[in-house]
C-alpha cells in the first residue's frame, strides 16, 4: 500500500476523532446546563422556597445535547465520505458540511449568550 494513502487515511481517522470529541463535549455541556437547572429547583424546594421553573435552561441543555449528537453524525458522514473518496483517488474538500457545523455552533453560542444576558437582567 502506498505510504501517502496510509497517511491520508490516518489523517481522516484523526479528523473523525476530533468530530467525536467536539460532539461529546457539546453534549456533556448540554447535560450540565440541564442538570444545573434541575438541581437549583430541588435545592429551592428543600430550603422551603418556591421552586423556580427550570425554564429555558432545560431547553438549552436539550438543544446542546442534540447538537452534540448531530455533530457526531455529521463527523461520521464526513469520515465515510472522505474514506470513499480516498479509496477512489478523488478527494474533495468538505464544503457545505463544515459551513453547516460552523453556523450551527455559532448560532448556539449566540443563543446561549443572549440567554445569559436575559437571566442576568432578571436577577
Supply φ then ψ for residue 91, to 5 degrees: -70, 140
Q: Which three cell numbers stand for residue 92?
A: 474533495
In this prediction, residues 108-117 reach a mean pLDDT of 80
Residue 94, Cβ density class (10 Å: 0-12 exposed, 13-18 middle, ≥19 buried): middle
Supply φ then ψ for residue 38, to 5 degrees: -65, -40
d(C-alpha 5, C-alpha 19), whole Å:
21
Would you kindly state where each structural domain of the chain is located, as residue ranges? 3-122
The confidence score (pLDDT) of residue 97 equals 82
d(C-alpha 31, C-alpha 61), whole Å:
6
The confidence score (pLDDT) of residue 59 equals 83
The confidence score (pLDDT) of residue 52 equals 62
Q: Tens of pLDDT along 30-72? A: 888 878 777 777 777 777 777 666 577 788 888 889 999 999 9
- 3-state secondary structure labels for all residues of 3-53: HHHHHHHHHHHHHHHHHHHHHHHHHHHHHHHHHHHHHHHHHHHHCCCCCCC
The confidence score (pLDDT) of residue 60 equals 82
The confidence score (pLDDT) of residue 18 equals 93
Q: Tens of pLDDT along 80-110? A: 999 999 999 888 887 888 888 888 888 888 8
Go through 66-75 and write b for each residue having 16 or more CB atoms within 10 A of its CB, e for each that does not. ebbebbbebb
pTM of this structure:
0.74
The confidence score (pLDDT) of residue 77 equals 92
Amino acid at each position: 500500500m502506498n505510504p501517502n494513502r496510509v497517511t491520508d487515511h490516518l489523517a481522516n481517522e484523526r479528523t473523525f476523532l476530533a468530530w467525536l470529541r467536539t460532539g461529546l463535549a457539546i453534549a456533556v455541556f448540554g447535560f450540565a446546563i440541564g442538570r444545573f437547572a434541575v438541581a437549583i429547583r430541588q435545592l429551592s424546594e428543600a430550603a422551603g422556597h418556591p421552586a423556580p421553573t427550570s425554564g429555558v435552561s432545560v431547553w438549552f441543555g436539550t438543544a446542546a445535547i442534540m447538537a452534540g449528537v448531530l455533530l457526531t453524525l455529521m463527523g461520521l458522514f464526513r469520515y465515510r465520505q472522505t474514506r470513499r473518496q480516498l479509496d477512489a483517488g478523488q478527494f474533495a474538500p468538505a464544503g457545505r458540511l463544515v459551513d453547516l457545523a460552523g453556523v450551527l455552533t455559532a448560532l448556539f453560542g449566540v443563543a446561549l449568550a443572549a440567554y445569559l444576558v436575559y437571566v442576568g437582567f432578571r436577577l
